[in-house]
Amino acid sequence: MNLAHVATLFLSALLALPAAAEISREDLKKALEANPDLVLSALKKADKMKFFEFVVESQQDYQRNKAREEARLEAEERDKAFKNPLKADLGPTARTRGKADAPITIVEYSDFQCPYCAQGFKNLEQLRKTHGDKLRVVFKSFPLNFHPMAMPAAQWFEALYLQSPEKAWTFHDMLFENQSKLGEEYFKALTKDLGLDVAKAAKDAKSDAVKNKIEADIKEAKGFGIEGTPAYLINGVPLRGAYPVSEFDKIISRILASK
């Protein structure tokens, strides 16, 4: 917490003084902004422990209020999406798992190196077991810049999909189950174990077709305001983050009930 922030919190404490105080709130605010060292000077004469307890409590209150506001905004977005669902591209290039006529489609924007996405993968697997043919999953790559192996993993997944969608999904599962092994050698070894052409996969991973597919996924995610992973669209209703299975089921139940 920087000095300016401390000054602001200190100001908040001082503003609890009676309104009859000679100095105005605005003047006090300006004084502290111009001379943050006044905070340290005041602390020499104050009960430092009580002040810092106040700082900690204020920070906690801020975080709680922020979380409540974010939850409120997300709930509002979700309610709007039930009426006007977000529309992801589910055309021929979509990487799908499940029946095309399934009443529930979950579009997943994910990063193979993201630990939260690994938990998201487990959640989707549980949902697939629970809902069976009623559920279709669509995987879209959203590799984050600070995960160095996320983009190569996405490229190899796309490359294998060109050879065998079924085996590409096995590759997908193995990547999430073995995130600590991600790397070129692991991709090649796994491709070989799956009985696919390693040389072709390596070449396709660098191809324009694969590059364009991943760029399209990223562009779509950002167009929906997605900034982190994992993120989902459940029949167009957004769910941002590694939520537990129960949160997916709430949305699914509401969708099915509306049908």
Q: Which are the contacts of 35, defined by CB distance < 8 A and separation ≥ 6?
A: none
Residues 116 and 79 in one domain: no
88 in any annotated domain: no
Residues 180 and 231 in one domain: yes
CA angle 190/230/117 to nearest 5° reads 40
What does the CA dihedral 67, 68, 70, 76 come to, rounded to 10 degrees?
160
Residues 192 and 246 in one domain: yes
**Residue ranges making up the domain that contains 15:** 3-83
CA distance 203 to 207: 7
Residues 107 and 160 in one domain: yes
CA distance 6 to 59: 10
Q: Which among 19, 53, 83 is the end of a domain?
A: 83
71 in any annotated domain: yes
Residues 71 and 176 in one domain: no
pLDDT for position 111:
98
Beta bridge partners of residue 54, listed in sequence order: none
Tally of domains in the chain:
2
**CA distances (Å), origin 174, targets 24, 167, 187:** 64, 11, 10
Neighbours of 159 (CB within 10 A): 25
Enclosing H/E stretch for 2: none
163 in any annotated domain: yes
Residues 125 and 242 in one domain: yes
Residues 8 and 61 in one domain: yes
Q: What is the pLDDT along the chain (259 residues), one digit of tens a residue?
A: 444 454 555 555 544 444 444 556 677 667 767 777 766 666 665 566 666 676 677 677 767 776 676 667 777 777 888 899 999 999 999 999 999 999 999 999 999 999 999 999 999 999 999 999 999 999 999 999 999 999 999 999 999 999 999 999 999 999 999 999 999 999 999 999 999 999 999 999 999 999 999 999 999 999 999 999 999 999 999 999 989 999 999 999 999 998 7
pTM: 0.74
pLDDT for position 65:
74
Beta strands in 87-180 (DSSP E): 95-97, 104-110, 135-141
89 in any annotated domain: no
Residues 53 and 124 in one domain: no
Beta bridge partners of residue 106, listed in sequence order: 137, 234
120 in any annotated domain: yes
CA distance 220 to 44: 55
Residues 111 and 151 in one domain: yes
The per-residue DSSP string of 106-164 comes to EEEEE-TT-HHHHHHHHHHHHHHHHHGGGEEEEEEE---TT-TTHHHHHHHHHHHHHH-
